[in-house]
Structure 1
Amino acid sequence: MWSLHPRYLDRQGLLTCWREALLAQRVLVRPGRGYTNHPQLHRFRAQPDPVAAIGRYLAGLADEADRRGYRFDRGRIEQCAGTAPTIPVTRGQLDHERRHLAAKLADRNPDRAVLLPAVVSPHPSFVVVAGPVEDWERAAPR
């Protein structure tokens, strides 16, 4: 799951992010099932209403899908709460994800890779704060 705005993702990235977020939602709704140790679950679990937080995240992905003419089934979102509070994400995390996405796009969609800006915006569920790569990020160089 990406912290950066879904507009930067290619079709494959957007679809994969949707599927991963649905799996994360399942873990939050029914604890003990699925990939319970997914590193990104930490930030959703830390919210006052984790299911609403992942619902807001999924709704942001569905909004981007709508803009592209795709049809994501919003009925799969357990609790779509646009009023869930924004979640802090560090600038270091966004920069890390931007580099990671740039490498993926260079391999599978070079035309889209050249359009990726040097500084990316966050997914609407997140608000940027100063700081390094998040502690839960497993792919980060340490």
Structure 2
Amino acid sequence: MRLWSLHPKYLDPQGLVALWREALLAQAVLCGQTRGYRNHPQLERFKNHSAPIAAISHYLKGVHEESRVREYSFDKSKIQPARKAVSLPVTTGQMAYEWTHLLAKLKARSPALYRKWQGLDVPDAHGIFTVCTGEVESWERP
């Protein structure tokens, strides 16, 4: 499971579809609808939020919005309602780690996107995240 801190616009088609499925799985875990993946490290930042279901819902809304930009047909009705606005922190170290990781995936899987993004030094974060100075997150498994 990879719940990217990066804005989903950087993902190739396979990556965006995988992110949608994995974020829906994360939502199911946080809602207590599945027993698998309950202790997955990628869920830690959502589980530690004061409103974890609202946090994953807003995350999914961001992924869904990117799917609309690409004219994909992700089913928005699968996202749990969230009335509370939320924000999560992400460190500059985590963003840099994920960017390197994504570029390696794109180089192997989507060379055209790799060439498009390789010169970008500071990528945008997913809209739910506020970037702050810091190292790679403690829950990351390098």
TM-score class normalised by the smaller sequence = over 0.9
Structure 2: which amino acid aligns with 1:16? A
Alignment check: 8 A CA contact 1:49 1:84 kept: no
Residue 98 (structure 1) aligns with:
99
- The alpha carbon displacement at 1:38 in A equals 1.2
Residue 57 (structure 2) aligns with:
55
Residue 131 (structure 2) aligns with:
128
SS at match of 1:48: coil
Q: Distance in 1 between matches of 2:60 and 2:12?
A: 17
The counterpart of 1:138, out of the listed 133, 137, 141, is 141
Gaps of 5+ in 2: none
Residue 26 (structure 1) aligns with:
28
Identity between Structure 1 and Structure 2 (%): 49
Q: Distance in 2 between matches of 1:78 and 1:85?
A: 14
- The alpha carbon displacement at 1:80 in A equals 3.8
Structure 2: which amino acid aligns with 1:130? T
Residue 2 (structure 1) aligns with:
4
- The alpha carbon displacement at 1:63 in A equals 0.2
2:68 pairs with 1:72: no
Q: TM-score, normalised by structure 2?
A: 0.93
Gaps of 5+ in 1: none
SS at match of 1:40: helix
Alignment check: 8 A CA contact 1:23 1:34 kept: no
Structure 1 residues 101-116: aligned runs within 5 Å? 101-116=102-117
Note the aligned Cα RMSD (angstroms): 1.2
Q: TM-score, normalised by structure 1?
A: 0.93
SS at match of 1:128: strand
- Number of residue pairs aligned between Structure 1 and Structure 2: 138
Q: Distance in 1 between matches of 2:4 and 2:73?
A: 20
